[in-house]
Amino acid sequence: MPIFVYEARDPSGVLKKDVIEASNSKMATQKLQDMKYTVITIKEKTAGVANNDLFAWFDKYRKVNEQAITVFSRQFATMINAGLAMVRCLDILGEQTEDKKLQQTLIQVRKEVEGGSTLSNALSRHPQVFSMLYISMVKAGEMGGVLDEVLDRLAGFMEKDFTLKKRVKSALTYPMVILFMAIGIVIFLVTYILPTFVALFEGMRLKLPLPTQILMIVTKGARNPLIVIPFLAIVGALFFLITKYIQTTQGRKQYDRLKLNVPVFGLLNKKVAISRFCRTLGTLLSSGVPIMQALEIVGRASGNEVIAETVSKVRDSIREGESIAAPLGASGMFPPMVTQMVAVGEETGNLDAMLSKISDFYDTEVEYLLASLTSMLEPIMIVGMGGIVGFIVISVFLPLYQLIGQMK
């Protein structure tokens, strides 16, 4: 008979962890309920250990869906505002979430909170699920007694951030699909269709034109393992070395700087980075996080070494009693409009609201830029595909025209 591992509360409210035999999970739950137990979790105990270890390894590196955390934050804020106990809120939310990793995390958080830990400390034990930004804001909400407001603000922040990422990905999906399809078609033509023509051309006693010679070299090379395997090995080695270099501090800084300065997409990356910087800092400040701590969190959460270096200079400037706007302007990354608005926000004591306005403005700018990039990339890719196909057609038909001319 199958064995089920359960976690439940006995009639006196004491938490119990044990196993029970039953024909299925429904029967196991019924047995526990007959014992007046309140079932929290129940699952069948598997005989093997290797599969469990494998699933645990995959689960360790699997990320929790951002939308699931956003929904959790919004619902948690509503329940706290309605007066429900925190443990009860975590219990309900853990049961109803569809993300398995988030569900397991919330169960552990509930146990820690029930054991006397604060919510922020309990969340900090799960950094793979809850970011430093999230934990710091929750801690500020606990200290200020406005946890429901902070959670609601967090949900709004995550919704906007998620929407921005989704817009960028959806705008670039179509061009990338077209690009990969074009590469696939060219590889298919070069490796399966063109070799027939190559054999035909080699049997001709003609001086082949240059495009046809280039096409023949490419076709033969693509089908020759002595060329393909070393080529793939060199590409793989270069990719590995570049990846390792990017993981270093200097390499990461150069790579992030390149992302901000590369033609066409550099402007998009810069606008997205400015929007995230302003929204993150504004959300932290409006939640009551001290400015020095907020800047430290922004630097770590930026994901860009150039921005992190700028934020470090801003912290030094504040520590010396100067303003935020001056080092932002000196970095060369933030436009004059941003620095001027930040300066006005500092002077009026309304910096968080001003940062929110800047973020909203740049979200709109990103949307317009994405629309123009998409409309520009489509004809460029079509022309590129047409050029490749045209080169292949010309290379194939030029020798045939020469042959027809000789026959005449």
User: What is the pLDDT at residue 205?
Assistant: 67
Report whether 288 contacts 390 (CB < 8 A): no
Strand order in the sheet with 38-44: 15-21, 3-9, 38-44
**Which CATH number does 66-144 carry?**
1.20.81.30
* The domains spanning 66-144 and 145-408 adopt the same CATH topology: yes
- For the chain, the domains span 3-45, 66-144, 145-408
Mean pLDDT in consecutive groups of 10 residues from the start of the chain, 408 residues: 76 76 79 80 62 48 75 86 86 83 86 85 85 80 79 80 78 77 78 74 73 80 83 91 86 85 81 83 82 81 78 84 81 83 87 87 84 78 82 81 70
Q: What is the pLDDT of residue 186?
A: 77
CA 198/CA 220 separation, integer angstroms: 9
- Which residue has 């990356």 as its token pair? 269
Backbone angles phi, psi at 32, to 5 degrees: -65, -40
Q: How far is CA 37 from the centre of its chain?
A: 42
pLDDT of residue 131: 80
pLDDT, tens only, 329-352 = 887 778 888 888 888 888 888 888
The amino acid at residue 123 is L
Supply the pLDDT for residue 62: 63
pTM for the full model? Answer: 0.63
Fold entry, domain 145-408 = Receptor-associated Protein (1.20.81)
The pairing of strands 3-9 and 38-44 is: antiparallel
For residue 94, the tally of other CB atoms under 10 A from its CB is 20
pLDDT of the residue at 236? 92
Mutual angle of helices 291-301 and 305-319, in 10-degree steps: 170
Dist CA 121 CA 107 (whole Å)? 15
- Strand ranges (DSSP E) for 315-403? none
The pLDDT assigned to 1 comes to 58
Largest CA distance in the chain: 104
Angle of CA points 306, 311, 315, to nearest 5°: 150
Phi and psi at 379, nearest 5°, equal -65, -35
Q: What CA–CA distance (Å, rounded) separates 226 from 111?
A: 60
pLDDT of residue 60: 53
Token pair 């005449």 is found at: 408
